[in-house]
Chain A
Amino acid sequence: MAGGDAFEKKFNEVSNDIPIFNAENIQNNMKIIYYSRTFLSIVGGVIAGILGFTGFAGFVLYFLVMAVTSVGLIAKAKFSVQSYFDSWNRVILDGFLGGLMSFVLFWTFAYDIVHIF
């Protein structure tokens, strides 16, 4: 049916522009992302410190941990990110730099305790 097709096209066009998300659920999902990133940056910092990474290697480890987190989150969203978040950047970039200070702190802490004294 031609009319149906045209209708469907129009409907898809319009519904792409319209935010049909539940704001509270989005916020909850964002919070989960934030928590997992913070937690993993602390764990990653301790790991980097115990393994004795210095300089560039430690930051590489941080980026690796964050990348793994992103992959984990996407897997948790059953690879259909669009149905849980309003954009890909949310999953990949949000909270990326927020965990860096925690990472550096725990990295320094573990490194000092294990290797310096």
Chain B
Amino acid sequence: MAEDLVLDTAIRDWVLIPLSVVMVLIGVLRYFVSKLMRSYQTPDPKIVKEGQVILRARNLKSAANFIPPKSFRARRIYLCNEENGLLHVPKGQAQNAQAQMFSDPNMAMDMMKKNLSMIIPQTLTFAWVNFFFSGFVAAKIPFPLTQRFRSMLQNGIDLSTVDVSYVSSRSWYFLNLFGLRGLFSLILGEENAMDDTQRMMQMGGFGMDPTRSLGAEKDNLDIIQHDWVLSKFEQRAEATLRKLVKQ
């Protein structure tokens, strides 16, 4: 009997399509609003410097075997000797940096703005969908689902005989919410996606101690076994050149 269910075309014209269009437009609007609200903060020179030093140490670590032992040793000593190496952190400063990071009000403000620009449109749209479009079947999902999904996908419809793949507008809203993410990254360009990953990184880096990563990098550099791979390079070049000359 589930096959016999015929939906009114008015539902398509006034619920299904408008809901999707509205959600796309809200997504675009949110993107531009958050772009306008974004405050540019000048990066702290100390943090930038630490980041560059870490990058440098990583580069040295990954390319260590391509430089002669003497050069490697010189660089390692420059980076991590115990007196004034760039990676060496004096004991007292470690706590200071973290406290400074937490007390920076600009950062917390920025994160709150980003979160709000995410939450407010979602709540509003959800309320709108609930208010206007509840209590009827709005769409049919083209694959079968088990009875367990009934309470989730069909709330507002108190009919136990309707097939589970017929869903209410609220489910259509959630489907849009998750499915449009890919579309946004296509139409809004990379900045949208980058914004998300940046936010993730900020979240991850928020409680992290930058000086600790300096220390970790120092340890990594200290334990490297240097093994120069280009040790016979001159002889090899000579042989190759001789072969070329002979020809």
Contact B143–A11 (Cβ < 8 Å): no
Q: B106-145: which have CB < 8 Å to A?
A: 139-144
B172 neighbours in A (Cβ, 8 Å): 108
User: Which of B89-97, B178-186, B204-212 lies at the interface?
Assistant: B178-186
- B9 in contact (CB, < 8 A): yes
Residue of B with least CB distance to A98:
B182
Q: Can you spell out 25 A-B residue pairs with CB atoms less than 8 angstroms apart?
A: A4-B236, A7-B231, A18-B65, A19-B62, A31-B190, A34-B185, A39-B186, A41-B182, A48-B142, A54-B142, A54-B143, A55-B142, A59-B143, A99-B182, A102-B179, A103-B179, A104-B179, A108-B139, A108-B141, A113-B12, A113-B17, A116-B140, A117-B7, A117-B8, A117-B11
Number of A-B contacts (CB under 8 A): 95
A-B contact sample (4 more), CB < 8 A, given A4-B235, A38-B182: A3-B232, A14-B227, A15-B229, A112-B139
* B interface list, Cβ under 8 A from A: 7-9, 11-12, 16-17, 20, 62-63, 65, 139-144, 172, 175-176, 178-183, 185-186, 190, 193, 227, 229-232, 235-236, 239
Which of A42, A111, A116 has its CB near the most chain B CB atoms (within 10 A)? A116
In the assembly, what is the distance between CA of A10 and CA of B203, in Å? Answer: 43
In the assembly, what is the distance between CA of A11 and CA of B228, in Å? Answer: 9
A18 neighbours in B (Cβ, 8 Å): 62-63, 65
A3 neighbours in B (Cβ, 8 Å): 232, 235
A4 neighbours in B (Cβ, 8 Å): 232, 235-236, 239
In the assembly, what is the distance between CA of A108 and CA of B16, in Å? Answer: 11
In the assembly, what is the distance between CA of A64 and CA of B118, in Å? Answer: 34
Residue of B with least CB distance to A3:
B232
In the assembly, what is the distance between CA of A48 and CA of B180, in Å? Answer: 17
In the assembly, what is the distance between CA of A99 and CA of B193, in Å? Answer: 14
Residue of A with least CB distance to B194:
A31
Contact A102–B183 (Cβ < 8 Å): yes
In the assembly, what is the distance between CA of A1 and CA of B239, in Å? Answer: 9
Contact A38–B143 (Cβ < 8 Å): no
B7 neighbours in A (Cβ, 8 Å): 116-117
In the assembly, what is the distance between CA of A110 and CA of B143, in Å? Answer: 13
Contact A113–B186 (Cβ < 8 Å): no
Contact B182–A42 (Cβ < 8 Å): yes
Given A31-B190, A35-B186, A101-B178; A14-B142 close (CB under 8 Å): no
- Report the minimum CB–CB distance from A87 to chain B (whole Å): 17
Contact A108–B175 (Cβ < 8 Å): yes
A38 neighbours in B (Cβ, 8 Å): 182-183, 185-186
Which of A34, A48, A112 has its CB near the most chain B CB atoms (within 10 A)? A112
